[in-house]
Structure 1
């Protein structure tokens, strides 16, 4: 499983007008090239009457899939600037489509590069940038006599509480970052006078907005 990375929270849409041309941006998360292509095709179908539907995406833990499409705009003036914005922001698993309705005024090469770059940036802002941080889910098995103290301490700590299962004993599930695992284990052990059973049961990403 990959480590922490930056991506978008989900679907986002924005629109700007530049020299009477409409630039409508659609952004979403895509974890496979097939998902990215499906998203692009959906937008193209939605805007079949548009002058251009330019696109870009970057996918994979090591950004191994990168594609850009100018869709009829002069070569290098749309898709590539869009892809560069994704790369500059350090985004992974992200697809963007900028739909343009020509307004009658030509922007020139530099103008197009700036326009598509700005449209992409605003679309990304609408989609909300998040950091996905890999956490371990730690199961704390304790006797009911410890529940009040452990639950109260965990809720007031830096470690997010996932859930509590009530059975013969109590199972408290808590998120902790890998590098904090030993410190967390020592804390719980001390808190319960060594009466807790502690084990990692799985891993999961938590998302945090990037301001």
Structure 2
């Protein structure tokens, strides 16, 4: 499955009743990266009252993992609205931190939900993205004469070569978009190399 991911750090600013809501989005692929991003945002805005956040890993239609935090705002008024907007968007492997500078006027629970949702929506609507294609792995056993051709095939299909080893034949572990698997298997039949699912190598 293909989905969009953020191209890089992106931020917006929303002013509501003298409070500033700074929405910051970044591409993150796991919790370690997400927590590092949060730390980076806190270092950039150390004097802010709240650093509320949510992340979503994988395809936004079927996420692998999600998490959120209200960071001192009333329960359910910050992290959950941020996550809700993320789950109804087309961007995956994403984290949004909404930094709030309190302006002295209380917004109430409903106002906070609208503010955090609005900040997240504004950030996502202007977020530069790039298509992310999920790669599947295959193990190839081939003669030396086909190695260069296979390397070219991988490049042509925007795949990756994860591992290469040699004995009397060449062993390649490839990561390819699913769309490349049918032509690969077809070539294997005509050229005489073997394709295995990774578990069978």
What's the TM-score, normalizing by structure 1?
Answer: 0.60
The separation in 2 between residues aligned to 1:17 and 1:179, in whole angstroms, is 41
Aligned twin of 1:208: none
Aligned twin of 1:89: 89
Mark the CA change 1:122 to 1:175 in structure 2 (over 3 Å): closer, same or farther.
same
Mark the CA change 1:52 to 1:81 in structure 2 (over 3 Å): closer, same or farther.
same
Mark the CA change 1:93 to 1:176 in structure 2 (over 3 Å): closer, same or farther.
closer
What per-residue deviation string (whole Å, max 9, x for no partner) do you get for residues 71-112 of structure 1? 23x432212101112222376654321112234555443333
Q: What SS does the aligned partner of 2:137 have?
A: strand
The separation in 2 between residues aligned to 1:147 and 1:30, in whole angstroms, is 31
The separation in 2 between residues aligned to 1:57 and 1:107, in whole angstroms, is 24
Aligned twin of 2:113: 113
Alignment map for 1:1-211 (pairs within 5 Å)? 4=1, 6=3, 8-9=5-6, 11-19=8-16, 20-28=18-26, 29-32=28-31, 34-58=32-56, 63=64, 66-72=67-73, 74-89=74-89, 93-124=93-124, 125-126=126-127, 128=129, 130-137=131-138, 139=140, 141=142, 154=153, 159-160=157-158, 176-178=176-178, 181-190=181-190, 192=191, 196-200=192-196
The separation in 1 between residues aligned to 2:41 and 2:76, in whole angstroms, is 21
The separation in 2 between residues aligned to 1:141 and 1:50, in whole angstroms, is 58
Q: What SS does the aligned partner of 2:77 have?
A: coil
The separation in 2 between residues aligned to 1:80 and 1:92, in whole angstroms, is 17
Mean Cα displacement is larger for which, 169-178 or 121-130?
A: 169-178
Q: CA RMSD in A?
A: 4.4
- Count of matched residue pairs: 191
What's the TM-score, normalizing by structure 2?
Answer: 0.63
Q: What SS does the aligned partner of 1:97 have?
A: strand
Mark the CA change 1:21 to 1:197 in structure 2 (over 3 Å): closer, same or farther.
same
Q: What SS does the aligned partner of 2:48 have?
A: coil
